[in-house]
Structures are given as C-alpha cells and as structure tokens.
Structure 1
Amino acid sequence: MKSTHGGVDSYRMYINGEFVDSKGGGTIDVASPTNEEVLFTVPNGTTDDAQLALETAKAAQPAWAAMPAVERGNILARFADLIRENRERLAKILTQEMGKTYSLALGEVDVSADFINFPAQAARRIEGDILPSDLPGEHIMIHKVPYGVTVGIAAWNFPLALSCRKIGPALTTGNVMVVKPPSVTPVAVLALGELAEQAGIPKGVLNLVTGGGSTMGEELVTNPITRLVTMTGSSQTGQEIFRKAADRLIAVRLELGGKAPFILLADGDVDKAVDAAVVSRHLNSGQVCTCPERFYIHDAVYDEFLQKYSAAVAKLKIGDPMDETTDIGPKVNAHETSQLEQIVDKAVAQGAKLVVGGKRPDGEQFAKGHWYEPTILTECTNEMEVMQEEVFGVVSPIMRIGSYEEALALANDCKYGLAAFLFTNDVRLIQRAVLELEFGEIYVNRPMGEQRQGFHNGYKLSGTGGEDGKYGLENYLEKKTMYVNFSG
C-alpha cells in the first residue's frame, strides 16, 4: 500500500495483514540508478518491528500448517495469478528502483509468479516414508513437517524473484515467513502485500518488512522465534548469518556469491559460445550470481572467439532501461560502480590488456546515475583479483588455455562454486566435467538460466542448502520419525 507526496511514492511494511510504518518512524530513500533522483521511501524498520512480525507469524503458523496442503496450494496459485495480472506495474517498479531493462523486469515478474506457482502445484506431492521395522507388529513412519517461522532475506539484483523463490516453497510446506528485501531495492517486494491480501493469504502467514541489516536483519536471524533462515546475497553476509544462526543451531539455507568459469575448448562451437557469453555476461548489467565471470578459451579458437566476442560486446547499447532497444542499464548504486572501476584499474596495473570499455560512458545522458561500459580484459593471470573475486558487473577477463585439464585446474582454483559453463562436443569430456568441475550448476553448450524443476545450489563459499524443484521444497521440511507398534 502506498501514498504519494511531492512525486515520491511511500510504501509501508506488511505485518499481520496490515500496512504499517516503522515503530521508530524512520524511513529509507530509494533512488533511481539512472539519474539518482529519490522515487520512493520505505519504512526503516526497527528490532521492535521485527519482533512484531515474528510474533505475528508464530501465532498464524499452526492454523496455516493444519490447513490441507492442497488448499494452501490453491491460495498460492491465486497469489501467482495476481502477480501476473500486475506484471507491468511490478516490472516498472523493478526498473525504477534497480535499473534493469524493462524487458528483463517483465521477465523477472514472470519468473516470480512461477516461483510461487511451481511449489503450489506440488502441494499434493509432499511425501514421507513407511519403512519395515525389525520388530513384529510395528511400522516406522517418517513424516515431513514444517519448521514453523522462517525468515527470507533477498538480494538486491532480483529482489522480487528471489523473495518469491523463498515464499513459494516455504508457504506451500506449511511454514510462515517474514521476508526482508534489500534496502536498496525493496519496493516491488513491499508491493506484494496488497496482492497477498487479495489472494486470501491469512493474516500473519506472510509478512514483509524493511530495514537495515544490522538492526532489522540481525533481529530476524537471532530472535528465538525464528526456526529457519534462507538468504540470497554476498558470501560475506552469508557467513555472518551462518555464525549468528549457529548459536541456536537453527537451519540455514544460503545462496551466495559466484565466480563462474566459462570454458571453450578447441572443438566447441565458437558462434554458439559467443552468443551465450554476450547474453550471460551482460544480463542485468552483469549483476547475476551465475554470470560467467572469467573466461578460459582454448588456443585453437582463442583469436576467433576474441574477435567475434569483442565485436558483439562493442555493439551493446547502454542507456535508458525503459527503452526497448537498450541492452545495458546502470549499475544499482555508486558503491557498486566504484568497486567495478577499482577492480578493472587494478587488473590493468597488474598487466591485463584493456580491449573494450574500461570506463564510464561519455555523454550528457550519463552525467548522473551509475554507469559503466562493457569491458574486456586479456592477458590476465589466474592470480589476479579480477579472476578470483566476484566482480558483479559487465567485465570479461580472458585467459588462454591449452587443454581441458588446464581449464579444469584453473576453474576449480577458486573459493566459489556456484555455476560453470563448458563448450565442447566431446561427450567424454562432458561426462568428466560432471564429476570434476566443483560447481553446483553447470551449463553445457548453452547460456545461463536455471529452470524451476532443477536444483540451484552452490559449493564452497557459494552457499549451502539450495533452492528449486523437489529438493528445494524439501529444504523447508523437517523429518519426524514415528515407531508405531500395534502388536497388542
């Protein structure tokens, strides 16, 4: 629910089925990455607001869990339908607050609805087990039951989709959830409150709150009411949440940073690899955790790939994200842009060669906002920061490799393990890569883009737990074993 004053839309939190301001009265400004103008305000929630949301959720959970799963699924299916019906409105908000192209924002809304609908359709397929006992006249029954009160914390790059990715399976399985979107892009998520009410989600089952990580976020994680935390964001933040959750041994599901290798071998289809690289590296201005972040290209096709990839990247259009011809919008904020500049400058100082981009674009239209040109670096080494740390922007550092074995060693020499890309037609190497690449998600001969029935998970510092599909659904269920003796 919103109100408008002086051209700025003010949104409120959604707690216990009501739209509320922060008990502390504070607000957070949300500015456009395109021109830095304040477009929205949201409440700066306090620990008291977090406590209220958690208490509300706890009170609502028993009745929601007792509702037949198919009825919960039907309510969530209506929720998904309402998200689709509000597609254009939600997409516009996403573009305004995050800077992504409007076409991509429309896609995010579609995916968000699907993240709700897919688990909702699986409500009838939550299965347990009946096992034979070693004793006569006895059954062993393993039930799967909800945790209770869960907390969902979403990242700023796909705030709506990442929130719905958690809401769908959590609520389908009988949990309730308090969702905290990021302070930099919270508005589209708060807009879900009105749709949740229209869908008939009971009061307290879904709560949407905003506020700082050190206040609102920490209270949600450490509060004794919380039984599970699911978070998408940086590895550093994920580690901090993991440490805080350890004090009470609550369940934690983390989807964190990535540094995806892009491997093109001698027999790979160069044109297909170029097309996939252009799309995957530059989607959402490179602000995707599964983007290819480091390129290992075989000597035999290196020159051809570099020539074609450089030509394609140079043609990408930077500009107004509402313009349907724009390929790349702004970065989300000044801090992210500054980090991108620093890591590119450092790579060049260390010996990398700048082939394309490497700076903020020229022109009056880019005088305000957070812009950075698509950038290609060659002559990189695997020890460089640009090859080891998550860049989260439109930068492509490229290295030559001479074999699959070399590419494998370089790719695995990294603290992250979320996604990887492999282009080859050698079936033997593809099968080896399944076993040998230390990444939870591998794209072979295609661009990135996971599907709802798959499983999205990371190795190493890229997270623990995973999301999507039947395995993601089970992450929101605990097991309870019953030994039922009926021998008399």
Structure 2
Amino acid sequence: MTLSMTESRRGVEHYRMLIHGEFKDSVSGQTVDVASPTTEEVLFAVPDGSKEDAVIALESAQSAAKSWAATPAVQRGEILAKFADLIRTNRQRLAKILVNEMGKTYSLALGEVDVSADFINFPAQAARRVEGDILPSDSPNEHIMIHKVPYGVTVGIAAWNFPLALSCRKIGPALTTGNVMVIKPPLVTPVAVLALGELALEAGIPAGVLNLVTGDGPTMGEELVTNKITRLVSMTGSTPTGQHIFRAAAERLTAVRLELGGKAPFILLEDGDVDKAVDAAVVSRHLNSGQVCTCPERFYIHDAVYEEFVKKYCAAVGKLKIGDPMEDSTDIGPKVNAHETDRLEQIVRDAVQAGAKLEVGGKRPEGDQFKKGHWYEPTVLTHCNHDMAVMRDEVFGVVSPVMRVSSYDEALRLANDSDYGLAAFIFTSDMRKIQRAVLELEFGEIYVNRPMGEQRQGFHNGHKLSGTGGEDGKYGMDNYLEKKTMYVNFDQ
C-alpha cells in the first residue's frame, strides 16, 4: 500500500522515501530532524535509512533497469520533459522548502528550482541525439559499430548546498540515456529532493526507475556505493568524501564520476576592467552565502590596480545585507549549520593571527534577529600570503583573502599552486593572456571577464583533486553510457 509522501506530526512535517513507486518510511522507523538554519527550529523529519533500505532501493532499480533501457529514447525524453514541467509548476513550494532547510535566499532558491527543471529538460530534449559510430574495418565485408548503452543501476549522491539542482543534474542525463537511478541527498538538506517523489510519479516515471532515499554516509551511502548491483556512482561533495567513495568503489571497479571541492583563483591583471571585476567578485563570492564550489576563494590582484580594487570591493561588500532569506532585500542568509559557521570563524581567526589584515566583517553579526541561526558577516582579508590556510584550504563561506601580484606569470604560478582544479577567474583585455590562460590554467572551468555560472550545454568538470568525470551537455550525458563494439561480418 502506497503511503502519502508527507505526514504532519506535532507541527513537524515528516517526509517519506520513494522506493519502487511507493512512499516508505525506513525499515527501522527511525527519523532524522531537519532544522532551519535561520531559526534553528525543527521543521522537517526524514527517514533515517539503513543498509537494508539501500538494498531494497537497489533491488527495485535493478528490477526496472531492462524495461526502462528498452523504452525508446524519445519516450523516455517525453516523460522526463513532463517531470521538468511539473518541477516548474511547483516552483514556489520547492523554493520555500529550500529556504527552510538550507537557508539560501528565496530569490536564489527560485533560481535553483528553475535550474533543476532545466537539468532534467536539457538531456530530455537530446534523447534522440545520442550517437554511436560506424567505422571501416580492416577485414572485407565487415562493419565496426560502436554502440553506446546504459550502465544500468546508477547511484547519485548530492551535496547539501544545492541539493535539488545537483540531484536533478544527475537524474536528467542518467534516465534519459536509459539508466535507472537511486538518489541519496544529504541528511542536512534532504527535503526538497524527497518532494520530487510525487512529481516523478505524476510524470509517469515507472516504479523503480527513480528511487529517492535518505540515510547517512557510513551506513546507507556505503552500501549504495559498494553493492554489486551498482554499476556507476555520481557524487557531488567534498574531496575527502569523494576520495573515500573512489576507494570504496574500487573493489568492484564500479564506475565513478566525482565533482568535488574547489579553491578558485580570481585573477585581475593590470589591463582588466576593475569595475567589472568588482561586480563579478561580489556576486560570485557571496552567492549562496559563499557555499558554492566554483566561488572565487582566493584573489590575486595586480599591483597596478590593487588599491583601486580593494577600495571598491570592500565598499561593495560592506553594503551587502545579511538577514531573513525570505526578504527580497536580503543578499546573504545564514550558513547551513553551526559546524560550518564555527569553521568559518576559526579560519578567519587563524588568518588574522598569521598576519592578515581584516578590512571588512570578520565576526558574527550583532542584533536580536541573529541570536538564533547560523550567521557570519561577509569578510575581506588583505596582507595575505600563500602559506596561509585561508589561501590554500577550501573556505566555503563569505571570506575573501586578497594578495598582491606583480606579473601575469606570478598570478598563473600561484593559481596553479593548489591541489584543486575546479574553477578559475581571469580579468584582462589582452587576448594573448586569455589564450595563455586556456593553455596554462590547470582548471576544468575558466571564467574570462565574467562572474561564475555554467550553462547546460557546457561541461562542468574538475581537474586534480576537484574530481573526475564531469556533468552537463553532451559530454555529461556520455558519462552515463558504456561503449559496446560490434564487429559485424556479413561475408556469408
């Protein structure tokens, strides 16, 4: 018997997992509370799924894999396009859930819902355009045909900063290409993803093709990654977690696609447009309270424009408004939880003790409205050097460490002196320098004279410890397809 997706218990909305077309509690009946980062009030509860729940979801997916793969691609695309339309129709409801569980501003949450729908719709519209190859053979009367076929049962593990978008980023290409998928959102922000369950059923996604489960990493997550049913794992999250998944999947040689942490350099050269760079830096560094893996995390500003940039950037940052994420005038909401806020505070404290100068912010905001919740002021640090942890470790918050550089070569050297290689920014009017950046910057995504923000037809991937695989566009879809080579001899 199918239960409802939600049930209100003593003012807390309890959500259920979607497994084989039915809404289910965990086998144990245990739940996990989800509190608002703004008020610290418990608003939701979700199933605390276990290894046993993971196995049930994987077996459900396995039972649906062959029939879904045999469904014509155009029909799969039509179902997913309807799914995307339903996400758009429920835009405001999903956005409010995101605000309540994650703390992002309402305007950004609306944008996340829009992007989520597009992550489903873009591959759905490309369902007819998955191509193989026919190659000439060295043998007479023979064709070599390379087919692209789905892996089968895939697992998607999403990060807490954009839980809905990152889940849909995996669902769209996986299901379009004929795979089935079990999605596990983070327990910090799982609710909007579980809310997709009703929409998936309404869209006509068959039972088992998409399962939505919740549980922690060491139990449910470990089983999803290591179970022999799983053929591919796509994960977005921290580098340490990604490394653990990579090792865990190695035993069965399960395919792994990882989008991990970043430490994006922001380079402004002497011929760059300072005002344009300031505007881009303010938007890119502070979006989602700085909790974006492609945010600029370290600033390399040429001597010739350093003073001008710092003055204008500090003035702009100082005007950003922290407050209720549901208010239109708010620029920055709370951090996702107390741990993240404590970590940010420690990073800034260590930098100042190491010699950095605090120009803006550097503390938790004062006032009655900030007595509850997880808040931190946007912060600018100057007099930084490359040995400081704030310049080397991922911050994931509204802190901007700034360094002087005297040449383009120095900026490139410092930018590449990192274990991460996800995103980079460069501002220059010299096309020769831009072409050098294409060749020499060791990052998978480079923004030239613009703020961050990838597009669906592009390819989002990291180098070095920022990941392996990649998502979006035709290359992202290709990551969900195996190659099967047929040598067809017709000399009979």
TM over 0.5: yes
Moved over 3 A (4+): none
Tell me which residue corresponds to 1:161.
165
Tell me which residue corresponds to 1:44.
48
**Counterpart among 96, 103, 110 of residue 99 in structure 1:** 103
Deviations 1:443-480 (Å, cap 9, x if unpaired)? 00000000000000000000000000000000000000
Tell me which residue corresponds to 2:239.
235
Code of the residue aligned with 2:228 in structure 1: it is P
Tell me which residue corresponds to 2:444.
440
Is 2:248 the partner of 1:244? Answer: yes
**Counterpart among 348, 357, 361 of residue 353 in structure 1:** 357
Q: Look up the SS of the partner of 1:467 in the other structure.
A: coil
Q: How many Å separate the matches in 1 of 2:9 and 2:256?
A: 40
**Counterpart among 382, 386, 392 of residue 388 in structure 1:** 392
Q: How many Å separate the matches in 1 of 2:211 and 2:272?
A: 48
Q: Look up the SS of the partner of 1:9 in the other structure.
A: strand
Tell me which residue corresponds to 2:471.
467
Matching of residues 54-453 of structure 1 within 5 Å: 54-453=58-457
**CA deviation after TM superposition for structure 1 residue 156, in Å:** 0.1
**CA deviation after TM superposition for structure 1 residue 83, in Å:** 0.1
- TM superposition score normalised by structure 2: 0.99
Q: Look up the SS of the partner of 1:110 in the other structure.
A: helix
**CA deviation after TM superposition for structure 1 residue 4, in Å:** 1.1
Q: How many Å separate the matches in 1 of 2:11 and 2:322?
A: 27
Q: Look up the SS of the partner of 2:43 in the other structure.
A: strand
Q: Which runs of 5+ in 1 are unaligned?
A: none
Code of the residue aligned with 2:143 in structure 1: it is H
Deviations 1:229-251 (Å, cap 9, x if unpaired)? 00000000000000000001110
**CA deviation after TM superposition for structure 1 residue 383, in Å:** 1.1
Deviations 1:59-109 (Å, cap 9, x if unpaired)? 001000000000000000000000000000000000000000000000000
Q: Look up the SS of the partner of 2:435 in the other structure.
A: helix
**CA deviation after TM superposition for structure 1 residue 258, in Å:** 0.2
**CA deviation after TM superposition for structure 1 residue 202, in Å:** 0.3
Q: How many Å separate the matches in 1 of 2:387 and 2:251?
A: 36
Q: How many Å separate the matches in 1 of 2:291 and 2:168?
A: 19
Q: How many Å separate the matches in 1 of 2:363 and 2:394?
A: 18
Deviations 1:275-304 (Å, cap 9, x if unpaired)? 000000000000000000000000000000
Code of the residue aligned with 2:470 in structure 1: it is G
Percent identity between the two aligned chains: 80
**CA deviation after TM superposition for structure 1 residue 7, in Å:** 1.7
Q: How many Å separate the matches in 2 of 1:199 and 1:134?
A: 48
Code of the residue aligned with 1:21 in structure 2: it is D
Code of the residue aligned with 1:86 in structure 2: it is N
Q: How many Å separate the matches in 1 of 2:370 and 2:7?
A: 30
**CA deviation after TM superposition for structure 1 residue 6, in Å:** 2.0
**CA deviation after TM superposition for structure 1 residue 347, in Å:** 0.4
Q: How many Å separate the matches in 1 of 2:263 and 2:469?
A: 18
Deviations 1:95-136 (Å, cap 9, x if unpaired)? 000000000000000000000000000000000000010011
**CA deviation after TM superposition for structure 1 residue 344, in Å:** 0.5
RMSD: 0.4
Q: How many Å separate the matches in 2 of 1:70 and 1:383?
A: 54
Deviations 1:386-406 (Å, cap 9, x if unpaired)? 000000000000000011100
Deviations 1:303-354 (Å, cap 9, x if unpaired)? 0000000000000000000001000000000000011011110000000000
Q: Which runs of 5+ in 2 are unaligned?
A: none
Q: Look up the SS of the partner of 2:88 in the other structure.
A: helix
**CA deviation after TM superposition for structure 1 residue 413, in Å:** 0.3
Q: How many Å separate the matches in 2 of 1:465 and 1:417?
A: 13
Is 2:488 the partner of 1:484? Answer: yes
Code of the residue aligned with 1:87 in structure 2: it is R
Q: Look up the SS of the partner of 1:473 in the other structure.
A: helix
Q: How many Å separate the matches in 1 of 2:383 and 2:310?
A: 12
Q: Look up the SS of the partner of 2:155 in the other structure.
A: strand
